Structure 1
Amino acid sequence: MSGKNVATSSSIRKSELHSSLSDPVLDTMNFLNEITLRYPGAISFAPGRPYDGFFETEQVLAHLRRYLDHLTDHGASPAQVRTAVYQYGPTAGQIREIIADSLRRDEGIDVPPESIVVTVGAQEAMMLVVRALIRDPDDVLLVSSPCYVGITGVARLLDVTLGAVAETTDGFSLANLEAAIRAERAAGRRPRAFYLVPDHANPSGSTLPGPVRAQLLELAAREHLLILEDTPYRLVSPGEPVPTLKALDRHRSVVHLGSYSKTLFPGARVGFAVADQPVTGDDGRVGLLADELSKIKSMVTVNTSSLSQAVVAGALLAVDGRLSELNAKAAVHYGDAMRRVLDRLAERLPESRRAELGVRWHEPSGGFFLGLTVGFEADDAALTRAAEEFGVIWTPMRYFHPDDGGRRALRLSVSYLSPEEIDEGITRLVAFIESETSHRDLEP
């Protein structure tokens, strides 16, 4: 039996559940999925998913076979090969050496395999790192604002205090981070770590220039602040990437979070954390932060799917660890998609018309997302009108602001649509923006 107002002897009041379950952040993805299903004819700029056209079913089998052959070539017996794909496997991961080799070749990140923990996507990596680092109620996790909702959700689930570091129109602001650190300490709290996506950020699309990265690392070392660097979009973007913060890290100030969801395929659900920070126990023994993350993981997911790790390892072995080469075609595709969205926006909304409507946007050099400022409240009700009346879906930027900002902005994802869908989608979006702005102007 079901019903909104039906109560039984076994019913649970929502107020008795963890408070995070009443947080709008945790409803974000469900709402977007629901509205997409409700309006199947709408063109959706909401999902940050890779383009389906790059996936071939048989590749999965080839990747798996390659990894099994790799094990055999390195002396594994048939029983050991069988165990490697059928059993639980090491909590920290069974392909850490292959990931470490790939990071050296592709990103210039030179760390020992034991500093890596293989996770169920980058989302679990965030959960493990935040749980390990935040000890007391006065510990604070600083986040760039706007920021990826996954880190916000982790903080809510773990009852972790968030401190928002507002981006400027140019993206990350070192001055704003310094001010946030001072403000938290003045209030008696300890800024423990700062999370950001330095390359083609979700949702704003901004990228940290090289000189700013060096300044951020200097600040982190000086203030004893750990940087949580999330990097899903670097190798699927055109052009030569700026070095990662971890590659530039000389003081072990950076915990590097990685994922193969965009560079290989999301269904694998394989990510990793590079946590080479030394941890000294009460007995004087020194280990790595990765060891502590592995302890937490053993009580959360036990281990990452051995089968998924095998497929990822096979894909890495196929290109000698160089994901940049494997994703060369994808990077061109996503770069073309971003350029097409920006060109269509400029055509449909010339500069004079933008000024009239109060519209402006970022021009990212890569990644999947860009932010668009509009002249009206871009809330769930506006999104529903866009889907229902104009056949276009986007994401309210307010979802990504832990500081309650972004009320007149929206996020567009460029990754999942064909060129024809982009053209038609931008036409519909501009018609919606013009209609919504005119209705606002007519209000008393």
Structure 2
Amino acid sequence: MTVLLRRDDLHASVSDPESASMNFLNEVAARFPAAISLAAGRPYDGFHTTDDLDRYLRGYLAHLEALGLSHEQRQRQLLQYGRTNGHLGALIARMLLVDEGIEVPEQAVMVTSGCQEAMVVALRGLCARPGDVVLAVEPCYVGLTGAARVLGVEVVPVPESAEGLDPDTVPAVVAAVRASGRRPRALYLVPNFANPSGASMPVAARHRLLEVAAECDLLLLEDDPYGLFGLDDEPRPTLKALDTGERVVYLGSFAKSCFPGARVGFLVADQTVVDAVGRRTLLAEELSAVKSLLTVNTSPVAQAVIGGFLVESGCSVRAAGKEKTAFYRRNLRTLLGALETSFGGDPRVHWNTPAGGFFAVLDVPLTADEALLETSGRDYGVLWTPMSFFYGFDGRGPGGGGRRQIRLSCSALPPEDIGEGVRRLAQLVGDRAEEER
């Protein structure tokens, strides 16, 4: 007899509503390929070609040769298993110093298979006992909540304001978690132009959050994929750059600054770990045991591609990304202008005005759910993301928040498509809002 497995016997992450939501988005996009997608948060396709791969690889090999590695050593570094934490630590540490003013030793850097692996490694390493939980700003990027679900780690929400996380809301959440017998291990947030909300924390709030983290004995998991893409050149220091007490574990990615196909991210964990006999190591070195059981090591070939990109840019992704920054600035301004043109006369519709990044949030006078998205793709030729997908990770399920909100992304489109996409969306909202009256 053919084996039949009960879905109820599989891990909860298999049927997790957030995972199903992301799969649904992919399925809708595949069914309506001609629709304009204001849903996709990926980088614009036009910045790189496959010709760059060869150039970056050759540039990195030349860099290794300049460091004194023999031909055999260079071959082995790219073609064999490698060091668990990777071989880009020195280049990434230099990039962080040049671009962000973050000074850490290369031993504090772990190169990961995308930032998603960095999240898994950090959560698994920090949440060691039953009752260990992680706090996260809500609405929250589903990669973090999904990783926690796979690991069986509970995520406790901390509500986000229009200006990002309010640090003074954190102590009450921490106190409630501890009063219930659980142990809060870290707080996850995206301080710069967050996904999905687009919100960004003021500098004063960043300083205050570091004070609160120390008062609450809490680590901060800072995810910073969009920090390069502000609408202006106003300094927005990362939490890690302001961190004098080693409270921040910094999560980074080359998906937006280079290209996602390389699947290279990184984790910076310079916290000191002391064992039972007093031996001291860095947290990144301890976490290598977790990574070794996940992916053994990040692809050395992929690392070499990113290494060549870093060498070519002089370890300044900010300088190398000026064209990208200008493009994303133009796209975000185009999106905000299109919202004003198409919705500005409708008092029932509101939206935020992010200071950078890829995303904006639209409040609409109707339920923005999967059924409406299906109608939108089929009948109006435009796709978007229900904000409800980013809520409810504390067990409240669908309807926990964002039911009348839409996330709009402007990163993957040529500017001329953004206005048309918003016009189609306005037609949908106008038609359906009238029907629901």
Class of the TM-score when normalised by the shorter of the 2 chains: over 0.9
Work out whether residues 236 and 328 of structure 1, in 8 Å CA contact, stay in contact via their aligned partners in 2: no
2:59 & 2:209 partners in 1: Cα distance? Answer: 41
Letter of the 1:283 counterpart: V
Work out whether residues 236 and 327 of structure 1, in 8 Å CA contact, stay in contact via their aligned partners in 2: no
2:371 & 2:435 partners in 1: Cα distance? Answer: 14
- What is the deviation of 1:28? 2.3
1:169 & 1:54 partners in 2: Cα distance? Answer: 32
Letter of the 2:361 counterpart: G
Letter of the 1:432 counterpart: L
Aligned residue in 2 for 1:85 = 78
Aligned residue in 2 for 1:4 = none
Query: For residues 238-387 of structure 1, what are the structure 2 equivalents within 5 Å?
Result: 238-240=231-233, 241-350=235-344, 352-353=345-346, 355=347, 358-387=348-377
2:286 & 2:370 partners in 1: Cα distance? Answer: 40
Provide structure 2 residue ranges, at least 5 long, that are not aligned to the other structure: 395-399
Query: For residues 115-126 of structure 1, what are the structure 2 equivalents within 5 Å?
Result: 115-126=108-119
Aligned residue in 1 for 2:428 = 432
Work out whether residues 191 and 223 of structure 2, in 8 Å CA contact, stay in contact via their aligned partners in 1: yes
Work out whether residues 90 and 303 of structure 1, in 8 Å CA contact, stay in contact via their aligned partners in 2: yes
Letter of the 1:340 counterpart: T
Q: Which moved more, 1:177-186 or 1:283-292?
A: 177-186
Work out whether residues 149 and 400 of structure 1, in 8 Å CA contact, stay in contact via their aligned partners in 2: yes
Question: Which of the numbers 156, 167, 171 marks the counterpart of 1:163?
Answer: 156
Q: Report SS of the residue matched to 1:258.
A: strand
Provide structure 1 residue ranges, at least 5 long, that are not aligned to the other structure: 1-7
- What is the deviation of 1:318? 0.8
Identity of aligned residues (%): 46
2:423 & 2:202 partners in 1: Cα distance? Answer: 33
Letter of the 2:136 counterpart: V
**Cα offsets for 1:304-335 (capped at 9, x unmatched):** 00001011011111121010011101001001
2:266 & 2:387 partners in 1: Cα distance? Answer: 27
Letter of the 1:369 counterpart: F
**Cα offsets for 1:118-155 (capped at 9, x unmatched):** 00011000000000111122111100000100000011
2:242 & 2:255 partners in 1: Cα distance? Answer: 24
Q: Which moved more, 1:163-172 or 1:30-39?
A: 163-172
Work out whether residues 163 and 202 of structure 2, in 8 Å CA contact, stay in contact via their aligned partners in 1: no
Work out whether residues 335 and 365 of structure 1, in 8 Å CA contact, stay in contact via their aligned partners in 2: no
2:77 & 2:281 partners in 1: Cα distance? Answer: 26
Work out whether residues 122 and 258 of structure 1, in 8 Å CA contact, stay in contact via their aligned partners in 2: yes
Query: For residues 31-180 of structure 1, what are the structure 2 equivalents within 5 Å?
Result: 31-180=24-173
Q: Report SS of the residue matched to 1:165.
A: strand
- What is the deviation of 1:238? 3.8
1:145 & 1:78 partners in 2: Cα distance? Answer: 50
Letter of the 2:282 counterpart: L
2:239 & 2:84 partners in 1: Cα distance? Answer: 26
Letter of the 1:438 counterpart: E
What is the TM-score of this pair, normalised by structure 1? 0.95
- What is the deviation of 1:21? 1.1
Aligned residue in 1 for 2:418 = 422
Give the number of aligned pairs: 430
Aligned residue in 1 for 2:198 = 205
- What is the deviation of 1:91? 0.3
1:112 & 1:118 partners in 2: Cα distance? Answer: 14
Q: Report SS of the residue matched to 2:297.
A: coil
Letter of the 1:384 counterpart: E
1:9 and 2:2 matched: yes
2:354 & 2:164 partners in 1: Cα distance? Answer: 11
Letter of the 1:363 counterpart: T
What is the TM-score of this pair, normalised by structure 2? 0.96
